[in-house]
Structures are given as structure tokens and as C-alpha cells.
Amino acid sequence: MEKEELVELQVSGMHCNNCALSVHKLLEKKGLHDIYVDFANDEVKFKTDDPTSTPLIIKEIEGLGYKVSEDSIPIEEKSYEKIENKFYFSLLFTIPLFSHMFLPFHWLHNPLVQLALCTPVYILGCLHFGKSAYHSLKNGIPNMDVLIFIGSSAAFMYSLYGTIQNLGPDFLFYETAATIISLVLLGNLLEKRSVSQTTSAVRDLMLFQEVKANKMLNGEIVEIHSSEIRPGDVLVINSGDKIPVDGEIIWGEASINEAMLTGESLPVEKSKYDQAIGGTMIEKGSIQILVTKTGKHTILSQIIELMKKAQAAKPTIQKLGDKVAAIFVPVVVGISVITFFLAFYAFDVSFQKSMLNAIAVLVISCPCAMGLATPTAVMVGLGRAAKNGILIKGGNTIEEIAKLKFMVFDKTGTLTTGNFKIRALDCIQISEKKAESIISGIEGYSNHPIARSLVTELSLKSPEKMIFIKVTEEKGLGMTATDSEGNTYMFGSMQILNSDEDPGNYSLFLKMNDILVARIAIEDEIKPEAVNLIKTLKKLNIIPVLLSGDQKKKCEELGAVLGIEEIYAETMPHQKLAIIDEIKKRGKTAMVGDGINDAPALTSSDVGISMSDSSHIAIQSAEVILLKSDLSSIDNMLKIGKHTLLTIKQNLFWAFFYNIVAIPFAALGFLNPMVGALTMAFSDVIVIGNSIRLKTKSL
């Protein structure tokens, strides 16, 4: 199978969630994957197995009535294409037309004056809603614009017939046609502005990239834009400046505020050889950095991409709304037709009143609110999580978080600090100095917290390291290496011991040519926030589980201190996988881990949670990355997940409730089309407003 290619397009002309749904459904019908449609920012992304089909897909999107560009630069809308200007234009004619109902000016009651005022608004409606309705029907994806177009056209054509036949004021509904179009345009305008607030977290992050930079060039400092920076450039960054891209500090010291990345308000002290992350800010000091990553390769860009993908991933709860919205338009048209015939023929209601009731049913129906209910809440929830240093990779993960029954923890580097000290070194057949040299050399190739701690401690004690020609790491076992003389070494847990070899009270073992030559006892400290987290989980009826490759005795001691009853010790990666699968049968399960040996379990669990200082493989395997190694982030994650799901349920309730109540009221004649159009516009705003409330809501 060919590798999937990501296609990014700029699509202008999408004014509401209804437009975005039309594009999304079209791309789904084409069998594309990882579809992301953001009408507020005119962005469309998808993955395809066949990149040569992209021009055809672009043509089909244009067939829906939108403009498409493959350039990353947004398409500049002409002034008459902007939704604001369309609304103001229609309002200019609608106000005098509508005012004839309560102003005593006889000329406003003249059918020809009303026709003259309504015609420009109706033509605008045909171009805006009619064009979209036609293309949606042609592509078999009927949208909300079909209802608006039928409703406004019915009112206009009926009034035009009354004017031509001179049938009197009872046949004139020009103000209804114009008001429907104006109010729905107002709804589109409010929706676009409101949704742009729900995506502000991504936009805020993108703004961090738009900065100037001071580049060292031939001994002089030259100011350039961040887009002109290339890997290998040397940048000078002073107090108060933003760091434009990722790099390594080659000169100077600074206090760097990384709050935008981790949510941590206290600045981090950094000096030579430390990593500087693009988007963070220097509060005090001055540094020079050697640029290592630019553009899409920087940590900030990857976070932005992950957030966009997360917003595109649909929670299971949204599928209900999608199914209803898919059949909604034809059902509403059917109800409208039945309303007209029952009122006119069965209940002897006047033709005009029957027509108005049918139009009201069309106009008041609002699948937009259903379509907006989930994505707006997910966007705000993901944004709030990101500002708290919690990166959630999928909108569907939010729902999983809210339903967790078990949380499984790795021990080392997760519940404990991962800062190990050597308590005892027992050398059996080699000198202490040689043992330290071998261990320091072999562990330098591992990213495991124990390995990092041992290398740091041994480097201070003895800077000598043995050189190896080949080193490999085996999950759950340890390191294997070969030196230039052909000697083989193994360093790892008690799993590498033979049955006749005594582990004693030691944790790690060194073998040379399959003979045990040294043993190490290490000690680790519990993270200060671990005890409170376990208490919080129990209050939330989430069962904590300890799953570790460490010795049973050590795991039981840790479990006793923290209050964890369910413990699995001395497990290999494949065993961790089997245990996670068993726990999942009892309820939704999260796994919190940080090492290469946790990767399979992180992938298998319903929600994989990884620390930011974890191994690269662990980060790739997880659905949630905690940008702070502080375990209290998990408490925040659970609260955000719970309140986001609650907001989605509230939104869906109001969206369904609105339609269930409004359609019968309209069919029975209690709501005229103009009131219907107004309430339809504001039902969207209520749903979006409830989602935006999640930004500042107390958790």
C-alpha cells in the first residue's frame, strides 16, 4: 500500500458549520482520511493514497460553490464576497421593507415598492444560499441552505404572483422573504465570529511563530522574519524577546518563560548546550542559539498540528448528531409539505396561512446547532487543556477520559521521580572502576530514567567510559553491547539472570560473556504529588493500578505508601500488554508511562498518557502528553475531560430540544417565518456560547 500523503488546501466561501459539513461529507464520500475542515480559518486538510487525484477533488469542492487554492496563503475574499458585507447590504433593503408593518407611510405599502426593495435581497439570497443549495443537491449532500432557499423562494414567488395578479396586501410576503435571508446571514456572521473564538487556542499558538529575529551574519546582527530562518543560523536573543525557532544555546544564560508550552508560570534557567524552544520568551538574560529546527519541524508547529488533528477527530457522541443531520433536510422538507396540505385541505386554514406555516417549518429547522454542538466544545476543551500543559491528540480521547474506570501506572519515572542514586555497587569478578566504566558507557545509549541517572552520577565520580562497537536495547530486559575485542555485555533487570544466580537485594546486574560480574542496588524517591493523585482517583471511582517491570518487593512497598491495592510486578512489555487487555475488559482504561518498554501498553490502552520527558517512542504511542512532569496535570486532564463531555451533552440537548419544540410550534402556526429565522440564528449562538463558557468555567 502506498504511503498516505497529507493535502492542505485554502478554501474560501465557507461561512458556517453547515458549509464545513458539506465539504467534510464530500471528502468522506471520496474515501479520504484524517479530514479536517475549519470554516473560520478557511482550512481544509485530508490524507489520500493517490495524490494525483487532488486536482479532481479540488474541482469537486469548487463544484460545491467554494474557491480553492493549494497555496498556504489564505485566499483574499473580495469585498462583495464577505459575509459581513452581504449582511449589511441585505439589511439596507430589509429595514425599510420590514418597517411598513408599523410605520404609517403609504408608499411603503405599494406592491411595486416592496418588490423593488425585496428583489436585491432575494437575488443575493439566490447567489448565496441558492448556489450552495443547488451544488449540495447535485452532489447528493442536501444542506441547510436548501431549506432557507425553498422557504425564501416560496415567500417571494407567492408575493410576486400576488403583485402581478393585483390580489391585494393579503398576498404580499416580501418582508418575510427578505427578513429570512437577512436573519440567516446574521446567524452565519455570528456563527463565524463565535467559532473563531473556540479555535483561539490554536491561533494564539500560531501567533507565537510570527516574530522577528536577530541573525548573526559576518559578525553583524541583521533583523529578519522568522520565516527566513534556516537550520544552522546563529540567532541573538535578548531579554524580553521571543525565541522564534528551536535551537541549542551556544552562548549565554537566561531565564526562559515556557508557560505557553507547559503552563508552568515559573521561568526555567538555561545555559550553554540546553535546548531553546520556539515560541517561549526570555524574561532575563541574553543568549545565542544555533538553529536546529524551523517551520513544521519545530516543537511548537508539531503541537499546533496535533491540536488541529485532535479537533478533527470526532468523539463517538458526535456520530449521533451527524446521523440526524444527514437525514434532517429531507425530513424537514417532508414535514413542511405535510404541514401545508393538512392545514389547507384537512383543517380549512387559508392558503396564505398554510403557506406561512410551511415556510416557518423550513426556516426554523436548524441542523447547524446539532453540527456545532460537539466540535465547538471539543475545540475549547482541547485549547484549555493545552494552556494547562496537557496536549490531547484527539477529540475522541476527550470522551474516553470522561469515562475512565481504571488508571494504570508505570513505576519508574512516573510515580517516582526517576532520579536514582546508587545505594550499593557489588563487584564480583572485576574492579569497581571497570564496572563503573562499562555501566557508564553502555547506559549512555539508553533514554530510560534509570540509565540517565546512572550516567549522570557515574560521570561525576569517574569520567571514563568504555567504548563499544555495537549497542542494542531490549524492551523490559536492558542493554546488550559488544566491545572491539568481541566481548559481550548485558546490563539490566533480574530478568537477565539465570536460575542459579542470586539477585540478593540488588536491582540491576552486569554480565560479561554471560558471567555475572557486578550488581547494583538503587533507590528512587516518590513524586510529591503522587499520594494526592491516587486519593483523587479513588474519590472519582477510578481504580489505580501499578504495573511495573521492577521487583515485586519494591512495587508492594510503593503500593503500600500510595494506597494502590492492585499491583503487577516483574512484568515484560508483552506481559504488560496482556494485563492492559485484561483490565480493559472490566472498564475504560488509561495507562500512564514514560519508557520504551511502556510503548505497547500505551498504544493498547483506551487512553495512553505520557510525560514530556518520556522516550520519543512513548510520546508517539500516547494519546495524551503531559508537558509538565507534575502528576497533578492528570487531575486537570480528568476535570477538563469531564466538563467537555458535559458541555457536549448540554449542547446536543439544546440543539435537539430546540427542533423538537420549534417544528411543531411552526407547523401549528404559532411562529411566523421571521421569528423562526431569528430564533434559528440565535440557537447556534446559544450552543457556541455554552462551549465558549468552558474557557473560563471553574472546574
Return averaged pLDDT per consecutive 10 residues of the chain, 699 residues in all: 73 74 82 78 82 86 82 67 86 84 72 90 88 76 74 81 77 78 76 59 60 84 85 90 89 82 67 85 89 78 62 53 65 87 86 82 68 75 82 76 91 78 87 90 81 83 82 82 91 85 85 92 83 92 89 86 91 81 91 71 83 59 76 89 89 79 84 69 76 83
Cα 299 from Cα 277, distance rounded (Å):
7
Q: Identify the CATH number of the domain defined by range 5-77.
A: 3.30.70.100
Query: In the CATH scheme, what is the code of domain 390-416+526-640?
Result: 3.40.50.1000
Q: Which amino acid is at 394?
A: G
> For domain 211-297, which CATH number applies: 3.30.499.10, 3.90.1150.10, 2.70.150.10, 3.40.50.800?
2.70.150.10
Strand order in the sheet with 589-593: 390-392, 624-626, 607-611, 589-593, 406-409, 543-547, 566-568
What are the catalytic residues?
410
Residue 5, all three cell numbers: 500523503
d(CA 95, CA 442): 80
> Per residue, what are the HEC states of 305-344?
HHHHHHHHCCCHHHHHHHHHHHHHHHHHHHHHHHHHHHHH
The amino acid sitting at 638 is: L
Using alpha carbons only, give the angle 162, 166, 171 rounded to the nearest 5 degrees: 30
The CATH superfamily of 421-523 is Calcium-transporting ATPase, cytoplasmic domain N (3.40.1110.10)
Q: For the whole model, what pTM was predicted?
A: 0.61
CB distance 600 to 620 below 8 Å: no
Cα(490)–Cα(498) distance, integer angstroms = 13
pLDDT the model gives residue 344: 85
Long-range pairs for 106-109 at CB < 8 Å and ≥24 separation? 109/169
Q: Where are the domains of the chain?
A: 5-77, 81-199+307-378+646-695, 211-297, 390-416+526-640, 421-523
Q: What is the DSSP string of 215-230?
A: EEETTEEEEEEGGG--
Q: Are strands 624-626 and 390-392 parallel, antiparallel or unpaired?
A: antiparallel
Q: How many CB atoms lie within 10 A of CB 453?
A: 21
Q: Which residue has the cell 418582508?
A: 175
Judging by beta carbons within 10 Å of its beta carbon (0-12, 13-18, 19+), is residue 438 exposed, middle or buried?
A: buried
Total residue count of the chain as it appears in this document: 699
Q: Which residues contact 127 (CB under 8 A, 6 or more apart)?
A: none
- Tell me the C-alpha distance between 581 and 563, whole Å: 23
The grid coordinates listed for 270 are 538555561
CA distances from 625 to 310, 410, 611, 618 (A): 13, 15, 6, 9
Q: Please give the torsion angle defined by the CA atoms of residues 192, 16, 657 and 699, in that order, rounded to the nearest 10 degrees.
A: -40
CB neighbourhood size of 539 (10 A):
8
* C-beta separation of 368 from 18 below 8 A: yes
- How many angstroms separate the first and last alpha carbons of the chain? 46
Q: What are phi and psi of 201, to 5 degrees?
A: -60, -45
Which three three-digit cell numbers place residue 466?
568504555
Alpha-carbon distance of 376 to 685, in angstroms, equals 11
Whether 5-77 shares its CATH topology with 211-297 is answered no
Are β-strands 515-523 and 406-409 bridged in parallel, bridged antiparallel, or unpaired? unpaired
Q: H helices of 585-672, where?
A: 599-604, 616-621, 632-667
List Cα–Cα distances, 340 to 350, 362, 516, in angstroms. 10, 11, 90
